[in-house]
Structures are given as structure tokens and as C-alpha cells.
Structure 1
Amino acid sequence: MSRPEPLAGRAVVVTGAASGIGRALAVRLAGVGCPVAVADVDEAGLKQLDLPGPVLRRPLDVRDAAAVTAFAAEVREWAPAPLGAVFNNAGVAIGSSVLGAVPEDDDWLWEINFRGVVNGVRAFLPLLVAQDAGTIVNTSSVYGLIGVPYQSAYCAAKFAVRGFTEALRQELRGTGVRAAAVHPGGVKTNIARNARFRTDPEGRGRTHEQIAADFDAIARTTPERAAAIIHKGVDAGRARILVGPDAYLVDALARLAPTRYYDIVAGLRR
């Protein structure tokens, strides 16, 4: 398959656009002339998003399949240019042991991180197929490449996004539509601060703020850098987009030591 058309000047859709990687993607792509349709459950955050050019802003809970489908219909009528990419990026986190998991918290995460991606794909894929062009871009994680203690729900959802996207990519062979999975490493966003923690899952007595600060200390990539990598990866037609040096390290460890990678990761953390 030949390289896709560059995203510059083409319409794009970004969910989870009120903060973090989604916000940085919206800003970057609007800056290269993309009409941008942005959605997030955080309506106040969307209103604060300052973007040049045509913008469609909609509060949206990606768990609501009917609402996502209605958003896609609105984008189809609004878009002043062909649709270049749909970034299914909305996501949340929790921290818990499997033994201490709260089922309602796990369900909340799975509905957003996996079902929200599926809803986005099902709503927007017909638009891309009809024009026989464009890319579905689904945000997984390095936690979709390896299993990590106290992140069972998050890993499950991100592995599911990876598998769903890879299956979709094979179904799209022979068409002009692509599917790409994004695997960010540590990115300096508010996901840890907005996560659900009932107690410190490691039993160290840390507060929610201390857990978030520990995440910030190992997060090496800015949202702006992440957006640049993702943008370039989509323009290059990549099926798997690794974000950050830690993502490349994790990917290599998963391949070279598929049952022992966490021994190495834990040693590096220490």
C-alpha cells in the first residue's frame, strides 16, 4: 500500500481533546491547516481549547454509542475537507491489585478505554470507507505491550485496543483506509491525577497526589512531542506508532524476554 495523503489540510477528529495528548494533537493539526472536530466529556476544557481555522466542539461521553454515532453524522455534514484521520484517544486510569479490585472501577475503565474506541471506530469507519481514504488511529499504550502490576484493568483494555486495531487493519487490506495503534510510554499528562485510587495499590501508604507525582517523575515525553510523533507516524503510514524512548525499550523487552521483561523493568526502575 502506498503512503497515505498527508494530514495537513484534511479534516480530523480527536476524542479526549480537552487535555493531554488529545489536546496537543488538536493544536498541532489545526496548526497545519486541518479542520478539527474535537470531543471530550470535559466541556469546560473543550471551551478553553484555542484553535485556528474551522473547529467543531462537542461534549461527548465515548461510552455512549448512540452519541458517538450522532457525532459522526454531524462531522460528516460539517467537515469542509475530506476526513484524514479519526483519533480515538479518550482514556482514563485506575490503580489497584487484582485481589483488591473494585468491579465498578474496572467496568468504568473498560467502557471508556476499550468500548469507547470500538464506538468511535464503528461510528466513523463508514465515512472513511465511503471515501476509500483516511486512517483510524486508536490509542493503546506500552501497557498494551506488557503486563504491569496493579494495572490489570488498564492493561486488559489496552491489550484489547491493540488486538482490535490489528484485526481491523487486516480487514482493511486492499482498501485505501488504514488502522494504526499508538503505544505511548510515559507522557506528562493528568491521567494519573484523574485516575481512581481507593488505596495505594503497592501498600506504601502514598496519597493520590504522591502516586501522581511518582508517575510524573518517570514520564519523559511531553504531550506536544507525543503529538508530533503520532502525526508523523500517521503521515508515514505506520501501523504501530511507539511514542517515547521508553516505548521502544518496552517493545524490545517484550520481544526479547516475553516472560521475564518485568524483572528487567523493575530493575531499571530501582
Structure 2
Amino acid sequence: MNCFEAKVAVITGAAAGIGRALAVELARRGARLSLLDRNHGELEKVAADCETLGARVRAHVVDVTDWEAVQEAAVRTNSDLGGVDSVFAAAGIIHRGSLLDSDVADLEEVMAVNWRGLMYTVKAHLPYVVNAAEGRIVTFSSAFGLVAMPKYTGYNSSKFAVRGFSESLRQELADARSGVSVTCVFPGGVRTSIVRNGLFAAGENRDAVIRGFEKHVARTDPDEAAAVVLKGAERRRARVFVGADARLVAVLARLAGGHYQDLMPVVERVLGRRWG
């Protein structure tokens, strides 16, 4: 019996990417699922796929930036599925563009989804997770939550915030002698639609950035990413790095410290040739 069998797992961003892959894999492992996403059509499809695998599923069309809606979904999940054992806060969006050229509304949306939506998700479900025998909170930062890159001020800010939130919460729960673990995931380039569906500042070559990401950067399959995430969550690790690129960035950040910033303009110029 795996640690997710017959347990309740909540997944945000469940309609696509890593969130979808997590939902399907957890269904295979016998979990009961609460799936949250704002994309109604795709959410219905993944819920049906999970039910075909034998999982008991509750699908909630929810925007994670809506506190009341997230709270309501948490209450319904606890009532309908009999508790909450694990939370995978995987919903996220990306933005590219210089600060001078970026729309403030786009930057605010990135922070709202990636940090505030994650915080809402964790806070709404945590009262139920602390009652679980072996509760797990899994948050999603990024390799860009370890090092910063030019033209990703909004995205970097949100992912650094997730990292700080996760590490603080892990210490808080440990101090309280809680049985809940907190695992922060740092994905590198994963073959998802995040860039294709991303936000771009004026003047950015959207098509070139998408082509460059999908051809040169997104090397990890979502199913592979989900397996890595679940292995790390099962072992209650503090950090999980998804992909060789994320592991390389983690080493760079650890060895170079603040001096990594001296190297990033060179990296950006190299990537710029590929990303447009």
C-alpha cells in the first residue's frame, strides 16, 4: 500500500501540466481526489480520466485567487471525501517582459495566482490536513525561485515568495510538533502549456519565446515530473528538484551565492538567442 492509497489529495491547476499528471498518477495509486482549476472543460476531462481509473473525484471550477471560493471548495472536500491528507498547490502562470514595458495588471496577476492563490489554497485546507495521520503540503516554486533572470521580475518575485512561504511554514509546523510535512518543488523546463498560455509585455516576440521554450528548455515530461514530485512528497523532503536543469541551477545558487547574478547576463544572452 502506497502512502496515497485511500487518502484524499487536493490538486490545484489540475486541468493541465504537472497538476493534471499528478491527478492521473494519484488516481492510479488509489487516492480520492479534489481537483481545482478555472478551466471547466479541461477539468471535466481530467476528472473523467481519473474516474475511469477508479478514483472517487470531486471537481471544483475555482479561481485560486478567490479566497471565498477556495474556502468553499475546502469545506466541500472535507465533507464529501472525509478529510484532506495532501495538498498539491500546482496552479501557476508565467510572465515575460522588462519592468519598464510590463503592464502592472499582468504583474499583479502573476503574484495573485502564483503566490496569493497558493497561500489561499494552503491556508484553506491546512485545518483539515493537520487532522490527518500523515499530512502533506506540496508547494510549487520554480528554478526561477532559486535564481533570478532578467525579464521575469513578476514571475521571479512570485516564485521566490513561494519558496519563503514554504520554508517558513515547514518550520512553523515543526515547532508545533505537527505531523504535517511541507515539500517545496522546484521544476525546471517541463513540457507544459505554461509559456504558450503566458503573459507577455509589449514588444516581446511571443512566438519566438514559445518556440524556444518548447524546443530547447522544456525537456521533462509532465508524467516524469509528477513521479518525481510524488516520490519527494512521500519521503517528506523539504525540497524537490524536477529536471537536470533545476538540479544544475540549485548547485549554481548554492556554490555561487549572490555572485550568481554576475553570471546570469551571460546565460540570458545565450537563452535569448534561443528564446527570441
For residues 114-158 of structure 1, what are the alpha-carbon distances to aligned partners after superposition, in whole Å with 9 as ceiling and x for unaligned? Answer: 000110111001001133531111111001000011100000000
For residues 83-124 of structure 1, what are the alpha-carbon distances to aligned partners after superposition, in whole Å with 9 as ceiling and x for unaligned? Answer: 331011110111110221211110111111000011011100
Aligned to 1:133: 134
| 1:149-160 matches, cutoff 5 A | 149-160=150-161
Aligned to 2:12: 15
| 1:1-270 matches, cutoff 5 A | 6-49=3-46, 50-51=49-50, 52=53, 53-80=55-82, 83-131=84-132, 133-173=134-174, 174-201=177-204, 206=205, 208-217=206-215, 218-258=217-257, 259-260=259-260, 261-262=263-264, 265-266=267-268, 269=271
Detail structure 1 runs of 4+ shifted over 2 Å in the superposition.
130-133, 198-201, 263-270
Ranges in structure 1 where 5+ consecutive residues have no aligned partner: none
TM-score after normalising by structure 1: 0.92
Whole-Å Cα distance in 1 between the matches of residues 196 and 44 of structure 2?
21
Ranges in structure 2 where 5+ consecutive residues have no aligned partner: none
Whole-Å Cα distance in 2 between the matches of residues 104 and 124 of structure 1?
28
Whichever residue aligns with residue 11 of structure 1, its letter is V
- What is the aligned residue count? 260
Whichever residue aligns with residue 156 of structure 1, its letter is S
RMSD value, Cα: 1.6
Whichever residue aligns with residue 181 of structure 2, its letter is R
Are 2:187 and 2:243, in contact at CA under 8 Å, matched by a contact in 1?
Answer: yes
Partner SS, residue 257 of structure 1: helix
Are 2:140 and 2:162, in contact at CA under 8 Å, matched by a contact in 1?
Answer: yes
When you count helix as a share of all residues, which structure comes out higher? 2
Whole-Å Cα distance in 2 between the matches of residues 93 and 169 of structure 1?
25
Report the identity percentage. 39
TM-score after normalising by structure 2: 0.90
